[in-house]
Amino acid sequence: MMRIFLPLWSGLLGLLLVTLVQSSGIPISDASTVSPTAIDPALLHTLQVRYQTLAKKLSQLMPTQPYILVDTARNHLYIKRGDRVMLDALASTGSGTILDKPGDSKGQWIFDTPRGEFTVQSRLTNPVWVKPDWAFIEEGLEVPKSQADRLESGVLGEYALGFGRGYFIHGTLYPRLLGKNVTHGCIRLNDDDLKSVYRLAKVGTTIMIF
């Protein structure tokens, strides 16, 4: 498996280079064919200095502590420190399916894993799932009025890491479905990988999802 985050940073550095070439007045269509000797040495030096300065600033934005990276297309979760991969785990992420809200002609639940930058907000052991309305509607059941009727143990694994709006990294009863987009938005892992994530991630750990 390719190192996901390194190409991401390399791509950003490439964009910096394109920006610098554009600012130099060299058309992009010609930039790939212009040799360094065809550029004024003083201009080339200026571009190199600016590139190195911007590249240094960009590298400083990379988290210095372990962080979680989730690729929802390939269904992999990584824990990385700098460019070093500490964990490469097969995951399951959001299915993208849509469920209509009963009694609301315009209301829908969309079961996607959110993209963007988040942080670990909670770390739970032996978590209990508080089933939301959609879980009952999806099963063709009536939504209970009692909170106690929403509680379900043993379905999230031994650990869960919350990252906001009801989304968690947690275990699964269906390890055969890992690697597929089948969840309601949460990120599922097998027991061993979940334990490693729980051990390595703290409250405040950065989670990047794309």
DSSP H or E stretch at residue 195: helix 191-200
Alpha-carbon span 130 to 143, nearest angstrom: 12
| The token pair that represents 127 in the structure block | 């978590």
Q: How high is the pLDDT of residue 35?
A: 56
Residue range 45-60, pLDDT digits in tens: 888 888 888 877 777 7
Q: What are phi and psi of 188, to 5 degrees?
A: -105, 145
Q: How high is the pLDDT of residue 38?
A: 65
Nearest alpha carbon to residue 171 among 180, 163, 161: 161
Domains and CATH numbers, the chain: 5-60 (no CATH), 67-209 (2.40.440.10)
Q: How high is the pLDDT of residue 3?
A: 40
Alpha-carbon span 148 to 76, nearest angstrom: 34
Model confidence pTM above 0.95: no
Residue range 81-135, pLDDT digits in tens: 988 999 999 999 999 999 999 988 889 999 999 999 999 999 999 999 999 999 9
Cβ–Cβ < 8 Å for 145, 126: no
CB neighbour class for 52 (10 Å; exposed up to 12, middle 13-18, buried from 19) = exposed
